[in-house]
Amino acid sequence: MKLHVRFLLAFVLVAGVGTQALAQTDPLPSWNDGSAKTAINEFVHATTDQASPRFVPPEERIATFDQDGTLWVEHPIYTQVVYCLDRVPAVVKAKPELAKVEPFKTVLSGDRQAIAKLSIDDLLKIAAATLTGMNVDEFQAEAKKWLDTARDPRWKRPYTELTYLPMSEVLKYLRANGYRTYIVTGGGQDFVRVYSEELYGIPPEQVVGTAGGTSYGYDKNGRPFLTKEPKLLLNDNNAGKPEGIHLMIGRRPYAAFGNSTGDRQMLEYTKAGDGARLAMLVLHDDAKREYAYGPALGLPDTKVGTFTQALYDEATKQGWIVISMKNDWKRVFSWE
Amino acid sequence: MKLHVRFLLAFVLVAGVGTQALAQTDPLPSWNDGSAKTAINEFVHATTDQASPRFVPPEERIATFDQDGTLWVEHPIYTQVVYCLDRVPAVVKAKPELAKVEPFKTVLSGDRQAIAKLSIDDLLKIAAATLTGMNVDEFQAEAKKWLDTARDPRWKRPYTELTYLPMSEVLKYLRANGYRTYIVTGGGQDFVRVYSEELYGIPPEQVVGTAGGTSYGYDKNGRPFLTKEPKLLLNDNNAGKPEGIHLMIGRRPYAAFGNSTGDRQMLEYTKAGDGARLAMLVLHDDAKREYAYGPALGLPDTKVGTFTQALYDEATKQGWIVISMKNDWKRVFSWE
């Protein structure tokens, strides 16, 4: 019997006491004390304590996160745009006639200033040429290969290391409390899915993004495959975010995190629900550790993750919490 | 200490022995012994036993199920079509000019033979008029109200009681073994989401179906809401099933269940993956307990859940398992 008891005790130590110890540790160690950290803690307690009048049943616990600028660095240029530009030579190699056609000609020239001036229409042409027309599996393999080797110009690190440690803590904290965490990104759904599970613990089925159609067909051995088509099904920006949430999740989130005007409707939609709802916006005001940009800081609009004064005013009016990267985050990156 | 030991023992009885007892119980009691039941059991063991060469990591365990004719009765007419027809008087009340326009005129006449002869185009017009144009929340409330009161003409029961008990057992068995179960239906995604959680334990975010767009807007109090638009985003039939699986899940299923030619591509796509893959088709050959229909049985094509001879031949050739409702199922419904 003695041995039996010892076994039972060991079992309880692992299964029971372990959980208790976890609950007493600060789940947000990279956050400074302040209104942002307090808001997250209060939201979790209010929605998961069975005695709370604002308790949310586990099956309804959905939290949505924008990616670029909210979970990882977006400045000065979205990672996916870098990928598309880097893919242009391979695309032109397969279709040499593109070498003399704009915007491919400019990209091949390597003239950084000219590339920076490409219009949205030009970028869409480049996106269509580099992100569609291939087998879904081939696309995943290519994107993965690129992510393994590409480095960002400032820190000389893989882009996959440019995730924000405090936000990773929020993801884990919410999941530990029964929330399903979703990415809801203006970026390409298939691109983000390539790394979301490894980087954030968010599986492909919990990535909602700008999505194109695919077409089902067969290879020469009769084996079926899907081809990525240049047909836009969902533009997951602005009003497209709540529309995408309805399409892919079918429930209104209880918490939503963003950092730009493209996230405004998602936060509005989240807060319009009953009970406790959390809406937060990351403000990039830390030129030293990351970047400072956007009209809300009196800085020029860089067209990447625009945080306008109007967005700041709406946040104040609606009770959305603005996260100051400079003041609220003790650490920005895990490797600091 | 004695009390402590008793507590620990109680804990182990609940946490440990309970699981063991469960594992020894037949998870598929409504299935007769035979190749179908064996195939399900072998698939679960092969993909969840860590020692198996065909072990599948938990995060990749996805199983997809067609709904109409696979999880519940589809004959002689899809439940959602009954809903749409029943909604026509309310739509005409709101828009009286429709009363004199086909196909609404025919539906209002109540002439069953004429209604049965309506074309696919007519049904699409009725679907657009009855399933779109309203607030997403209003639609859910209306559909729920209808499901609570409507009765099927044969058994005089709520449609929600016409689910197949053996398939409910498969859903639970797979989930108990770490599989996420998805509905992948040609039916309307929003319609199926209204009842999928209660009926099958499948949450809205795991329902992939024929989906229309929504548009985000504001009511007179400035409160945001989504309107269902008559714009088709995904026709989740035939090739649309693997396309929808890629869009909404982003992983290839390990198991897929269907019952008609509309499920062929989903089963093909599933079986084309590496390792252990399970593809099964329900054959409706039980005129006594449910229905017998389809060309594969030498019966006329009723255009509802068509099971052709070609599908039967492909199943044989590809190693898909045909489930004979008559022979493989000990019970069909839970209330039998």
Query: What pLDDT does A12 receive?
Result: 44
Q: How far is CA A280 from the centre of its chain?
A: 14
**∠ Cα A10 A11 A14 (to 5°):** 85
Q: How far is CA A11 from the centre of its chain?
A: 38
- Check CB contact under 8 Å for B190 and A250: yes
- Check CB contact under 8 Å for A249 and B207: no
- Selected residue with higher pLDDT from B112 and B213: B213
Q: Cβ contacts of residue A130 below 8 Å, gap of 6+?
A: A83, A84, A87, A88, A91
Assign 3-state DSSP to chain B and report helix, strand, coil percentages, each to 5: 50, 15, 35
- The mean per-residue pLDDT over the stretch B36-59 comes to 97
pLDDT tens string, chain A, 336 residues long: the values are 454 545 444 444 444 444 444 556 999 999 999 999 999 999 999 999 999 999 999 999 999 999 999 999 999 999 999 999 999 999 999 999 999 999 999 999 999 899 989 998 999 999 999 999 999 999 999 999 999 999 999 999 999 999 999 999 999 999 999 999 999 999 999 999 999 999 999 999 999 999 999 999 999 999 999 999 999 999 999 999 999 999 999 999 999 999 999 999 999 999 999 999 999 999 999 999 999 999 999 998 888 889 999 999 999 999 999 999 999 999 999 998
- Check CB contact under 8 Å for B246 and A180: no
Q: Cβ contacts of residue B172 below 8 Å, gap of 6+?
A: B27, B201
Distances (CA, A) of A208 to A184, A203, B108, B194: 5, 11, 41, 21
Judged against a pLDDT cut of 90, whether residue B15 lies above it is answered with no
Rounded-to-integer distance, Cα B297 and Cα A114, Å: 67
Rounded-to-integer distance, Cα A263 and Cα A256, Å: 9
Provide ipTM, 2 decimals.
0.91
In a mutational test of the B interface, the residue from A183, A196, A226 whose CB has the highest number of chain B CBs within 10 Å is A226
> Whats the size of chain B, residue-wise?
336
For residue B283, which of B244, B326, B228, B237 has the smallest C-alpha distance? B326
Distances (CA, A) of A235 to A212, A306, B63: 9, 17, 28
Rounded-to-integer distance, Cα B320 and Cα B36, Å: 10
Judged against a pLDDT cut of 90, whether residue B106 lies above it is answered with yes
Judged against a pLDDT cut of 90, whether residue B165 lies above it is answered with yes
Distances (CA, A) of B167 to B29, B107, B171: 11, 34, 6
Rounded-to-integer distance, Cα B74 and Cα B266, Å: 19
Query: What pLDDT does A179 receive?
Result: 98
Judged against a pLDDT cut of 50, whether residue B21 lies above it is answered with no
**∠ Cα A270 B208 B48 (to 5°):** 105
Rounded-to-integer distance, Cα B212 and Cα B229, Å: 6
Longest distance between any two alpha carbons in chain B, whole Å: 83
- The mean per-residue pLDDT over the stretch B34-63 comes to 97
Extended beta strands in chain B, E state? 62-65, 180-188, 207-218, 224-234, 255-258, 278-283, 321-324
* Total beta-carbon pairs less than 8 A apart between chain A and chain B: 103
**DSSP letters spanning B142-207:** HHHHHHHH---TTT-S-GGG-B-HHHHHHHHHHHHTTPEEEEEEEEEHHHHHTTHHHHHS--GGGE
Q: Could you tell me the two tokens for B203?
A: 């949450």
Interface of A with B (CB under 8 A): 5, 8-9, 11-12, 15-16, 59, 62, 136, 180, 189-190, 193, 197, 203-205, 207, 211, 213-216, 223-224, 226, 233-234, 239, 242-243, 246-251, 265, 268-269, 272
Helix (H, G, I), strand (E, B) or coil at A307: coil
Which among A11, A16, A247 has CB closest to B211? A247
Interface of B with A (CB under 8 A): 5, 8-9, 11-12, 15-16, 59, 62, 136, 180, 189-190, 193, 197, 203-205, 207, 211, 213-216, 223-226, 233-234, 239, 242-243, 246-251, 265, 268-269, 272
- Selected residue with higher pLDDT from B336 and B323: B323
Rounded-to-integer distance, Cα B312 and Cα B296, Å: 7
Give the single-character DSSP code of A162.
Answer: -
Q: How far is B20 from chain A (nearest CA, A)?
A: 16
Q: pLDDT per residue over A204-228, tens digit each?
A: 999 999 999 999 999 999 999 999 9
B25: left (phi over 0), alpha (psi -120 to 50) or beta: beta
Rounded-to-integer distance, Cα A321 and Cα A256, Å: 11
Q: What single-letter amino acid sits at B304?
A: V
Query: What pLDDT does A20 receive?
Result: 47
- Give buried/exposed letters for A7-31 (b at 16+ CB in 10 A, else e): ebeeebeeeeeeeeeeeeeebbebb
Q: How far is B30 from chain A (nearest CA, A)?
A: 28
